[in-house]
Amino acid sequence: MSAPLWTSAEIAAATGGTASAEFAVDGVAFDSREVGPGALFFALTGETTDGHCFLDQAFASGAAGAVVSQETPHPHVLTGDTMVALENLARASRKRMTGVVIGVTGSVGKTGTKEALFECLDRADPGAVHRSVKSYNNHTGVPLSLARMPRDARFGVFEMGMNHAGELLALTHMVRPHIAIVTTIAPAHTEFFPSQEAIADAKGEIFQGLVPGGTAIVPFDSPHRDRLIAAAQDHAARIVTFGLKEGADVRAIEIIPQERGGTFVTARIGAERTLSFTLSQPGDHWVANAMAVLAAVDAAGGDLEQAGLALGEMGGLAGRGARFAAKVDGGEALVIDESYNANPASMRATLAVLAATPAARRVAVLGEMRELGEQSDAFHADLAEPIAAAGVETVLLVGEGMAPLAAALEGRVDFVHVADAASARERIDAMLRPGDAVLIKGSNGVGLSRVVAALAGRV
């Protein structure tokens, strides 16, 4: 019988709390809706909610114990501050980890790279790899993901995000990665940063958490490459670059798009080794992500050949490239689900994927890009050119922020501009035809996942 994830004595020791009874847990959650049998429930308090109000619900769902700051009749560990307790349990989890920890950040591609890394490492060592689920990459998601890491994990892969300077620094000191990856630097959260150089500096904070002897993995093709290398030099024993251009340490030297999607790639790893594989995900941005993944697998001592096989079998992620055929009047349309988030770089990358997708007609449902600050109007208007270059015939624009793009598209591409996702959902039926390929992408807050869900109900 395997050891539990945590015992009440271990939780109390890690958090400085007092256990009301002996218990053991096999999972951790702070959302009562995610609690399952044997879970530990953290009763976090926030501005609008208090987890203590959901203790009965959590135990009704099978919780074995809770971490609380108020007395309760349920089995618990009593602490002064449950958020601090979660962070301390995360640090205890990291301290007992004897394997390799990998941290991933970047303006674009964090979640996809994290998932690809998991698939590559897990294929060679099934069941020995832990990673953060969904996009749990902030001040609550990262400690939760760490606290969930099995005590015998051989690899841990953690996504870290930020939208203000200094946020990543706190997260990386908690994760303490052996390998730290920056996927790319692009305009994102520019409302909170004066320049892309400032974004690069904030992403470069990840290297400050590297353990001694750690490896920094940097995008060679980025105009901020040298800035990121400078940020890593004082903290990394080794710096590895990746990309598509000559000079990268891990580089795609052959890229052949496949008729049914995906890409045949030959990669050079270092000076002498090469690896050929078929990447299941289409687009040059995914080729670049794959180079970062191979660099990390190599740095972690993983099996590159198994990684190549895993990259060929990896399915699309919901909201980040998943594809399905939806029924429309008279046939089917291909849906490309990129609804989770958007910034100018990811919009251009996915429009290029749409351009390379065989279809009778290409349609785009594009939601506004948020947190772009004073440059927001220009960033939106600038999408007119990649939309036209992609051969998109019809565009459904969603949100007030899309007004500058609507003006830029006037007379170039047929479009409809609606206020919100609910209106887009009403309009989509009349727009789609058999043989269409439709890209759905926008900032998460726009809610285009509801449009995707409506179409997915017709599979």
Amino acid 258: pLDDT: 84
pTM above 0.75, yes or no: yes
Amino acid 318: pLDDT: 82
Phi (first) and psi of residue 151, to 5 degrees: -65, -20
Identify whether residues 135 and 271 lie together within a single domain. Answer: yes
- Tokens at 202, concatenated: 């904030």
Identify whether residues 384 and 294 lie together within a single domain. Answer: no
Amino acid 189: pLDDT: 55
Do 343 and 196 contact (CB within 8 A), yes or no? no
Identify whether residues 136 and 250 lie together within a single domain. Answer: yes
Amino acid 187: pLDDT: 67
Amino acid 191: pLDDT: 66
Identify whether residues 63 and 135 lie together within a single domain. Answer: no
In a domain, 1, yes or no: no
End residue of a domain, out of 313, 336, 361? 313
Identify whether residues 204 and 242 lie together within a single domain. Answer: yes
Amino acid 458: pLDDT: 66
Q: List Cα–Cα distances, 352 to 176, 388, 407, 439, in angstroms.
A: 36, 11, 22, 11
Identify whether residues 263 and 360 lie together within a single domain. Answer: no
Q: Which domain holds residue 150?
A: 97-313
Identify whether residues 259 and 367 lie together within a single domain. Answer: no
Distance of alpha carbon 82 from alpha carbon 42, whole angstroms: 7
Across 62-82, b (16+ Cβ under 10 Å) vs e yields ebbbbbbbeeeebbbbbbeeb
End residue of a domain, out of 313, 338, 370? 313
CATH number for the domain including 147?
3.40.1190.10
Amino acid 1: pLDDT: 57
Identify whether residues 332 and 399 lie together within a single domain. Answer: yes
Identify whether residues 261 and 278 lie together within a single domain. Answer: yes
CATH number for the domain including 34?
3.40.1390.10
In a domain, 87, yes or no: no
Give the number of domains in the chain: 3
In a domain, 296, yes or no: yes
End residue of a domain, out of 285, 313, 341? 313
In a domain, 15, yes or no: yes
Mean per-residue pLDDT pooled into runs of 10, the chain (459 residues): 90 98 97 96 92 97 97 97 98 98 93 95 96 86 97 97 88 98 80 83 96 98 97 98 97 90 93 94 92 98 96 86 90 93 90 92 96 91 96 96 96 94 93 95 94 84
Residues 6+ apart with CB under 8 A from 230: none
Identify whether residues 200 and 326 lie together within a single domain. Answer: no
Identify whether residues 175 and 67 lie together within a single domain. Answer: no
Identify whether residues 107 and 243 lie together within a single domain. Answer: yes
CATH number for the domain including 347?
3.90.190.20
Amino acid 73: pLDDT: 96
